[in-house]
Amino acid sequence: MPQSVAAILADGIRYERGGVVARARECFEAVTQQVALHPAAAAEAWWRLANLHRLHSSWDEALEAAHKSEALATAHGFTDTAADALNIQGAVWWIRGDFPRARALFERMLSLAQTPEIRAKALQNLGGIAADDRDFDEGERLFAESREVYRDLGDARGEAMSLLNIGRLQTDRGFVELARATLEQAVGGARLSGDLEMHAAALLNLGIALSALGLHGDAEEKITTAYGQFTIADIPVQRVRCLMQLATVAADRGELGAARLCLTHARSVAESSGLPRELALIETQIAGLPAFP
């Protein structure tokens, strides 16, 4: 790949991880235009562009770009790139609540994986599906296996992502003190990686653990910081999750008006972004709030 094309693609990745979304999109779109001379770079750029669309809840655009990446990669025998394209497709359906379709795509991704890095990604996502299905033992096994792969590769960013997912699972299992320690490691690793989205996600999940421990002030600080980053980067699903957790903190403090305000805003964002799973969770959370005196 000529240095100019490689440099544009690398710039796009750097901008994406730094939260400079518009510049990242420009870089990836430029590389997709090089398909005739540089199909490998174009195929990668298509799935990275698909991921940007996914993060911003542009579901149709995300799937269209991911399908283009998969088709181009398959035609040229770029197996790992095709697996990455399946990863984005699976992530779209996962966020939209279609777990069976997402799992099938992640399993196909795992079967295609030629390198340890792609295998580790697939294991992470299958672990996430298992955890969301409350199959915690399977989720933990898959996350741990993925973490070992990243550790063997010396991939600090990948290991930080594994720690984030392990910490989230520990919180869901009720092992909150353990989750706090794990997530503090994830926050540090994400910060060192320079990936602002992952750092914000780690802060959000650390805030959830702190909230469960009754440390509401620390929790609110972490979650509010995460919300600011997700708002700057315009990632609706994570904004909704932050607002839902801020509502939990407010309700635990007895601030029911603030809790309802957070949930009303969360519902508005979820409705405009097409997030059916989050909408259902928001309605359940609203119904569970005590009535005003």
How does pLDDT run across 169-186, given as a tens digit for each residue?
999 999 999 999 999 999
Quickly count: other Cβ atoms within 10 Å of residue 33's Cβ: 11
pLDDT of residue 150: 95
**pTM passes above 0.85:** yes
The pLDDT, as a whole number, for residue 3 is 59
Length of the chain as a residue count: 293
Position 270 scores a pLDDT of 96
Domains of the chain: 115-231 (1.25.40.10), 235-293 (no CATH)
Contact 143, 169 (CB under 8 A): yes
Look at residue 48 in the predicted model and tell me its pLDDT: 98
Over 90: is that where the pLDDT of 283 sits?
A: yes
Task: Tell me the C-alpha distance between 211 and 39, whole Å.
Answer: 48
Query: Measuring CA to CA, which residue among 168, 219, 178, 174 is closest to residue 198?
Result: 168
Rounded CA separation 150/262 (Å): 37
Query: pLDDT value at position 290?
Result: 85
Helix segments in the chain, DSSP class H: 3-17, 21-32, 39-55, 59-76, 79-95, 99-112, 116-132, 136-153, 156-173, 176-193, 196-212, 216-233, 236-252, 256-273, 276-287
Tokens 């409350």, located at residue: 134
Tens of pLDDT, residue by residue over 28-85, are: 999 999 999 999 999 999 999 999 999 999 999 999 999 999 999 999 999 999 999 9
Span 131-156, average pLDDT: 94
- 16 three-state secondary structure: helix
* Rounded (5°) CA angle 219-225-226: 90
Question: Do the Cβ atoms of 138 and 130 come closer than 8 Å?
Answer: yes
**1 pLDDT more than 70:** no
Instruction: Please give the backbone phi and psi of residue 64, each rounded to the nearest 5 degrees, phi first.
Output: -60, -45
Dist CA 166 CA 143 (whole Å)? 6
Token pair listed for 179: 């989750």
Residue 102 φ/ψ region, left for φ over 0, alpha for ψ in the -120 to 50 degree band, beta for the rest: alpha
pLDDT at position 190, please? 95
Checking if the pLDDT of 291 tops 90, the result is: no
Mean confidence (pLDDT) of the chain: 95
